A and B are shown apart, each in its own frame.
Chain A
Amino acid sequence: MRSLLFLLRKEFKQIFRNKSILAMIIGMPIIQLLIMPLAADFEIKNIKISIVDHDRSVYSKNLIDKVIASGYFQLNDYSTSFEQSFQQFEANNSDLVLEIPQHFERDLVKLQEGSLLLAVNAINGTNASVGSAYLSNIIGQYNQELRKQGLSASIAMPATIEVATLNWFNPYLNYPFFMVPGILVSLVTMVGIYMCALNIVKEKEVGTIEQINVTPIKKHHFILGKLIPFWVIGVFVFSLGLLGVARVAYGIIPVGSMPLLYSYLAIFLIAILGIGLLISTYSQTQQQAMSLAFFVIMVFILLSGLFTPIDSMPEWAKVIANLNPLTYFIEVMRMIVLKGSGFAQIKSHFLAMIAFAIFFNGWAIINYKKTS
């Protein structure tokens, strides 16, 4: 036990002496949490639209006003020639072209039907699909309004079903509410895996690990001496993010139990540090460890349900997502922080995370050898 104390004292001294690590554990969570949620906002705004108006009537003007007033679209250009607008399209200056044909108003009034052309620049798939959906919606509303105005009194009003939606747990569909807890998890993961793996591999590179291996230090003491400091740092980074940035910048105050959340974090960190340890046992240089850790973290983050729902992934991706510790912690974060779930609801998540912690650490310990 005493040698563990000496190891811990040494690790903490080295960490606090290393300016770049300090910057990483304090600066990184703050900056990332301030910037990432804004960039990872899926609400599409400022879709650039080109409008070709061949009709130039009151009706077409009204329609254009409605589109612009919706707040989702930015008028890029307004012209009477499709070719001209299409050039804007080709130059990637606009995402959508809405063409209003000649006699739009006349046809609407007389024939009670109108047609519009909507051309979508599908290079940016999200902008394209969301933009055209928004636009169709707006046109549909406009259509309804025209009918209500009694434009065509002769036509029987179709019965309208109004759907009232109630957003539970995040009533204003506040995007950061949803993203920040998840981003915090990925942040803690990165800090944990990178720091743990690089630290151990650095000792290999410098040669001090050989010196350690020739001492009677017990293998599990050495490993604990590495894991405990990074576990503490992980808790610190998490708290800084949750109690600092998330609360001050986004007003996120966890609804659920904090001891429950921190218990889960404790196990999660053990699992994550086990992955860092495992990476270090397979790497001889910091460069190798870095590349390996980068690969693992990328897969973990992309297949964790942070940015895209797991339900819409293909079957093989779902399998990976279910074998990914991040998936579970992100879910738990959202459940406890936003919904206030209790232990009963996340019991299976606890079991899964304990299994991860045992699996990764067990593998790493078997693979870490004092004697080759």
Chain B
Amino acid sequence: MEKEIVISAHKLTKKFGDFIATNEITFKVYAGEIFGFLGANGAGKTTAMKMLCGLSIPSAGEATIAGFDVYRETEKIKQNIGYMSQKFSLYEDLTVVENIRFFGGIYGLSNKELKSKSEALIKTLGLEKEVDKLVGSLPLGWKQKLAFSVAILHEPKIVFLDEPTGGVDPVTRRQFWDLIYDASDRGITIFVTTHYMDEAEYCDRVSMMVDGYMKALDSPENLKKTHGAATMDEVFFDLARGAQRQGD
């Protein structure tokens, strides 16, 4: 049976003046997949992700997200995706429960849904005691788990995670990935960028961006095989060695 395609990009390109941030990338992401989007700093990951989220209009190429066109149907895309950026993006001066209600509310959840979902979410994250604390006072790891949970509160088809685990300890990262697996089991497609190669191993398929080009796309096992490498670390070095652009 043909798998459902939720993201399809064909020669997707973004230029800023003479600079080509993302150069004709072509790929497909299937429903329920955990898709790792790797690359060195400045390789064009964030730019590509912004185009897929409807935050940035491509310069050329085509793409559809959940069946909607990235040029004309950005608002429909937004209804069907969740997004969590590398900059932490909840309101620090609102409490845990206020953030959940706010973001759930603007995605159109009913009051009943908001109530049941926020209770369930708080229980899953073990935040019962912190419900009325300002988000700004929580440790980073908790904030990120909360931000992820809020991003998928409205059960989107796809969730985009831009370096979601930057700066947190290995235990918290592990817990974060448990949340990702849970979401994936529920059928949410995960599109994640990361710099941690152990996280790349958790993905179903991984792509590698180098200097705006997509240099590789396969499962971690196959990538290691074709590059004759023991770990994803070695695969990354092998591919990124030739990179011209320096990190940003």
Contact = CB atoms under 8 A, between A and B. Distances in A.
A214 B81 CA distance: 8
A2 B104 CA distance: 11
Contact of B78 (A2, A6, A215): A215
Interface residues of B, number: 28
A5 B108 CA distance: 11
A209 to B, nearest CB: 9
A207 B85 contact: yes
B55 A372 contact: yes
Given A211-B85, A371-B55, A3 B90 contact: no
B108 A3 contact: yes
Interface residues of A, number: 25
Nearest to B78: A216
A101 to B, nearest CB: 74
A14 interface: yes
Contacts of A206: 87, 92
B54 interface: yes
B115 to A, nearest CB: 14
Contacts of B105: 2-3, 5-6
A17 B53 CA distance: 32
Contacts of B91: 10, 14, 208
A359 to B, nearest CB: 27
Interface centre among A6, A13, A17, A217 (most CB of B within 10 A): A6
B53 A214 contact: yes
B196 interface: no
Given A215-B78, A371-B74, A210 B107 contact: no
Interface string B54-66: 1111000000000
B124 interface: no
B161 to A, nearest CB: 12
Interface stretch (B26-34, B95-103, B169-177, B235-243): B95-103
A7 B101 CA distance: 11
B56 A372 contact: yes
Contacts of B56: 371-372
A3 B106 contact: yes
A31 to B, nearest CB: 26
In the A-B complex, the 6 residue pairs with the smallest Cβ-Cβ separation, listed nearest first, are: A207-B87, A6-B105, A211-B89, A214-B83, A216-B79, A3-B106
30 contacts: A6-B101, A7-B106, A10-B102, A13-B94, A13-B98, A14-B93, A206-B92, A207-B85, A208-B90, A208-B91, A210-B55, A210-B85, A210-B87, A212-B106, A213-B55, A214-B53, A214-B55, A214-B81, A215-B106, A216-B75, A216-B106, A216-B107, A370-B55, A370-B74, A371-B55, A371-B56, A371-B74, A372-B55, A372-B56, A372-B57
Given A10-B94, A210-B85, A211-B85, 20 more contacts: A2-B105, A2-B108, A6-B101, A6-B106, A10-B91, A13-B94, A14-B93, A17-B93, A18-B93, A206-B92, A210-B87, A211-B90, A214-B55, A216-B75, A216-B78, A216-B107, A217-B106, A371-B54, A371-B55, A372-B56
Interface of A: 2-3, 5-7, 9-10, 13-14, 17-18, 206-208, 210-217, 370-372
Interface of B: 53-57, 74-75, 78-79, 81, 83, 85, 87-94, 98, 101-103, 105-108
